[in-house]
Amino acid sequence: MKPVIFGLSGPILTNEELRLFRDVEPAGYILFKRNIENRLQLLALTDSIRALHGREDVPILIDQEGGRVARMRSPEWPDFPAGGAFDALYDLAPLTAIEAARNNAEAIALTLAEVGINVDCLPVLDVRVPDTHSAIGDRALGSDPMRVAALGQAILDGLAAGGVIGVVKHMPGQGRSVVDTHHDLPHVYASEEELEQDLEPFRTLNKAPMGMTGHVVYDIWDDQNTATMSPYVIGHIIRKNIGFDGLLMSDDLDMNALTGDVPTRAANCVAAGLDLALNCWGRFDEMVAIAERLPEITDAARARLDRAMTGSNMKFDADRLAFLLDKRDRLLALADTDAKLTHGATGAA
């Protein structure tokens, strides 16, 4: 098995992909909009991946956060709100917000389970600060680490209730990034004391099954390498300081925050201590080159992968999904109602 998660080129596995994946046995796969047409097609695709490897526990990932980050969209699937909706409700009623976040995550999990997807790259645990780039923006669960951790735990619990594995991201915290890592390299110049705020949600949720690093340079820790490529950030900050011993993967290695060709990036992040490299775009020649550059997965990484996937128990219940969506909407409506009442009272004054 190679320590990599690959994307696919389209809505079905091509003959080239079938041969490559059978020979290489990547650790998992990630799906995007280009891979998705409808329920029947998507279930057939995930079934074909499992049949290729003869395993039910092959990790099949997706970014289904809600809001602007959602690969499965209406009208085929329900719409889901971004994390900021639960942050707003938390201002009014923390326990209600936690319940709404849990219900929403379980509903997401059920929609994924129906089509054979067992890992969701959620929750986002980046703590928002005044300068947080819009690339994170309303994806964040708030600016208070305790709130972010509480809502993040609710999301992990909701996903697990639907038999789907969550991935905490972007370790060790991308909230201070002032540029979009898809296009530029962010440097964070905060002090150790300031960065404690960023670490706190990840430390609180350090028993999460999977985590994802961000492509950010934290100058106080390693002014030469992004977290994804830094042995110090991976080994000392994430593994020791945060205490995270789950499966650790990179963010997409095709982002412009990184330099060098993608196969070199994949080899470097695994050499730095990540369990898995994440290559999202499904470019065949690139995947071949990555497979050639990567060693076999380490025993420690394989053990973390196997341990994480024991939580995958996908099941679909249409009645439960309808109940969860209705309950979530009624809870989130409390924030809208309060805003209208407050606005009305201000206007009357």
Q: Which residues are catalytic?
A: 182, 251
Q: CA 57 → CA 47, 53, 276, distances in Å?
A: 11, 10, 16
Phi, psi of 102 (to 5 degrees): -65, -45
What's the CA gap between 222 and 217, in Å, rounded? 7
What's the CA gap between 109 and 104, in Å, rounded? 9
Q: DSSP assignment of 204-234, as one string?
A: HTTT-SEEEE---EETTT-SSS-GGG-HHII
Give the largest Cα separation in the chain, rounded.
Answer: 71
Closest CA to 160 of 5, 309, 43, 320: 309
What's the CA gap between 272 and 270, in Å, rounded? 5
Closest CA to 123 of 164, 156, 88, 94: 156
Query: Is 119:125 a contact under the CB 8 Å cutoff?
Result: no
Question: Encoding tokens for residue 332?
Answer: 């989130």
Question: Encoding tokens for residue 233?
Answer: 């950030």
First to last CA, the chain: 67
